[in-house]
Structure 1
């Protein structure tokens, strides 16, 4: 609930929101500002704050003053500092789209039950990006004003169209010899189709790989079947090959959680430890594309995912305290939004939205979408979020009716249910998810799986920051900084 109360004399209140966290602490109320500052207060302290009963000179008074919950009319003007903080958090708005996804093919040798996109047979025709569309897409990418550009190749299985990847990378490198941008390349792949020529090319251009590892062999093979029934073995072999040729950090992995996955968080995490991976992303099932057809067999209520997440996070914290460094990537993104004045860069946690403004997808057929999720909606018969074609200039794509629809519902601070939420400074709007689940880009936050997930994960994170042991807080900070636990010291007291 936003509080802005005009007073006569003494200190004045600046805008803030609050919510009850629960837990054992007497400071059960989280209070936040638009600039992302936060503090934990007891109910008595909150009432004293609002009723203007706080005594100047106390530690709490000084803390609230420094973090811009209050100000003194005859004292320091807080607005320039607050404006600078807010501009820093929304700095991504001054940039153009930085993430550019090239869907080089729909062909794939997997038949994953939770797949979000249609699949084409390995030898199928008409499912690969053309040379001309690829060239146009590269031109659209360089029309972005972003100094940092990430080129990510997706599919299907993008390595099945490696000549197209080679073309795009070489054209980007040649163009960038004049543009002087900071360009990164990532291939999202099963790693089953690696060969030495691909690894040589990746080494030359410092290409990174991202793959899926759903857990131990039985679980991975059940979730991601192939005709030869050896998906796990070939993926693990691919991870080892990339590391041996390109270095330990050249490959990352994530897991998609089916109903059977939720029964074994420790086994999934142990598999990542066994493979020597430094991060794990515990993703719930998506509501897009082919995944909706398997929902009855694979899906679960969000409450089950959240119970899994709590158990998995407890296990991860225990492992880290014992010397095994393994980051939960989504938690690290949330920590970035809470503990730093900068955006995480993750488009789903941006407000205004990241889709289109921060990311673009060039489909195999030349169509352009604001996000991979918008592309996946095509598989559900929904083409309303198509921005246009790669032959259109970027400014035209970003002025399309679909983009205007998303922009109108893409500012979380203005949405019913979000505008008075204490967690909105750290969250996003994600209108595409609500469009997919509820048929409306604004959606109804009370029934939103996106809100249910992020509100509980953030709430739990704040409880850990408030009540967690010094060891737990050092672990969380090590995830944020991506440094070993021994190198991390706790910052000043936060509330």
Structure 2
């Protein structure tokens, strides 16, 4: 006899009827597939499981059914709660678009004392002061920064070498903090520097004003010096000394480093990773070359996507072994993708957004007063292509810049859900539209995805990453700790 307060046991049994919710699917290897939905949930299925699922005959007591149900790939006849949960998750992931521009890049000078082979901008000699941003342009750019509704504002000071125009860096930081007394934003500053001009005055200023430093470190001394030459030599030594001095004055976590993969780097990934560990870093970005600036004249054509993917996989494997040995070291690009996979808010990384993160994710104020939709857009302009130039600080208001056709047109074209091949790709929730890259490589802001190095890279990394998460328990435990 059933107690009158409770339903009979049969009422709680799984329903045999179910309906499919929107999904995309793709093959991981010869026998397994991945299905994803619009909010980034994914399930790995065997072929037989996938066929049974789409034919609506998957048994409710199977692990596959339970995973698909809990991650909103199906709903049963007696419940529509999955629709509400999907809507809530989708709104959460899209929230960053409404927040608008958070990253504001000031190119305070093109002058630089390094001659990096892969430099993405047209660097100028140290004594070419005509390539410095003026105080007037800096003031106008700061006014635009605080027009953004974003509550979290990051101001990044770039070059060239920004410390060659340190008086303007100082003025921008101090003026921004003064303006922020009224605007009350969460304000952060980063100086991107090779650290060769790092003085005690600079360090004390950074300490007083809570400024972070970011530098370039390509690996061991011989590799770094070959790729980032400086007059008189010793580029690596100067960088390492700058890292140590920064940590002594500002603290252990106030300086980060970024490497760039060149043909010289491809067979030395273990050495590169070990150098980051030796210097006490807990993050490394295995960054591939970009098709801009000097890199297009020589380096970028010397290796392809498959070469970099092999470099990345070997590097990630080495990093996972280091973590298994007790030292925390994240691969930063992997961490960004893990955020896209598992965080309810996704990732704010500008290059992996739909629509594209240009303009609404970042704005660049060039040394000459021109305003660009991204740092790569500025680099493309240096190569003679002004497609993503939004306007000029002397001529255009905030409204004119943000509503310019140079921004609105590529944004309307880069919703992945409407792009051929992207619309059906299982990796859509974790990817982005990079219109500047495709303009540079294919002459079109959308590009043909079958021939896109950007797409090949994303698919290669994500296929490998999901494979690790689903088949290697120790790797999964380590990777999940990164997020």
TM-score normalized by structure 2?
A: 0.94
1:292-316 deviations in Å (ceiling 9; x for gaps): 12237x7311111111111111111
Q: Which residue of 2 aligns with 1:416?
A: 420
Deviates more, 1:368-377 or 1:45-54: 45-54
- The match for 2:377 among 374, 379, 393 is 374
Contact 2:137 2:393 in 1 (8 A): yes
Q: Which moved more, 1:67-76 or 1:111-120?
A: 67-76
Is 2:20 aligned against 1:17?
no
Instruction: Indicate whether 1:209 and 2:213 are aligned.
Output: yes
From 316, 320, 323, the equivalent of 1:320 is: 323
Counterpart for residue 339 of structure 1: 342
1:363 aligns with 2:366: yes
2:467 counterpart of 1:460: no
Contact 1:412/1:429 (<8 A) preserved: yes
Structure 1: distance between partners of 2:329 and 2:159:
28
Q: Is contact 1:152-1:187 (8 Å) kept?
A: yes
Secondary structure of the 2:187 match is strand
TM-score normalised to structure 1 length = 0.92
**Which deviations, in whole Å up to 9, do the C-alpha atoms of 1:452-484 show, x marking residues without a partner?**
111110110000010012x2112111222xxxx
Runs of 5+ consecutive residues of structure 1 not aligned to the other structure: 1-8, 481-495
1:343–1:350 CA contact under 8 A, matched in 2: no
Check the 8 A contact 2:45/2:64 in 1, yes or no.
no
- Note the C-alpha offset of 1:372: 0.4
For residues 84 and 41 of structure 1, the distance between their equivalents in structure 2, rounded to whole angstroms, comes to: 26
Alignment of 1:110-149 (within 5 A): 110-149=114-153
Aligned equivalents of 1:230, 1:237: Cα separation in 2 = 11
Q: Which residue of 2 aligns with 1:224?
A: 228
After TM superposition, which residue ranges in structure 1, 4 or more long, deviate above 6 angstroms? none
Partner of residue 37 from structure 1, selected from 29, 38, 41? 41
State the distance in 1 between where 2:60 and 2:348 align.
39
Is the 1:103–1:153 Cα contact (8 Å) retained in structure 2? yes
Q: Distance in 2 between matches of 1:242 and 1:456?
A: 37
Alignment of 1:218-297 (within 5 A): 218-295=222-299
Contact 2:36 / 2:43 at 8 angstroms: preserved in 1? yes
1:432 aligns with 436
The number of equivalent residue pairs is: 467
**Structure 1: distance between partners of 2:68 and 2:115:** 55
Q: Would you say the 8 A contact 1:91–1:343 is kept in 2?
A: no
Kept in 2, the 8 Å contact 1:219–1:261? The answer is yes
Distance in structure 2 (CA, Å) of the matches to 1:125 and 1:99: 26
Residue 398 (structure 1) shift: 1.3
Tell me the C-alpha RMSD between the 2 structures: 1.3
How far 1:59 sits from its partner (Å)?
Answer: 4.1
- The residue aligned with 2:10 is none
Using the alignment, how far apart are the partners of 1:96 and 1:55 within structure 2? 45
Query: Does the aligned pair in 1 maintain the 2:263–2:299 contact within 8 Å?
Result: no
Deviations 1:58-105 (A, max 9, x none): 443333222211112432332221111011111111112000000000
CA positional deviation for 1:29: 1.1
Residue 96 of structure 2 is aligned to residue 92 of structure 1: yes
C-alpha distance in 1 between matches for 2:305 and 2:67: 37
Q: Tell me if 1:305 matches 2:308.
A: yes
Aligned to 1:393: 397
Contact 1:409 1:429 in 2 (8 A): no
**1:48 maps to 2:52:** yes
Q: Give ranges in structure 2 of 5+ residues lacking alignment.
A: 1-15
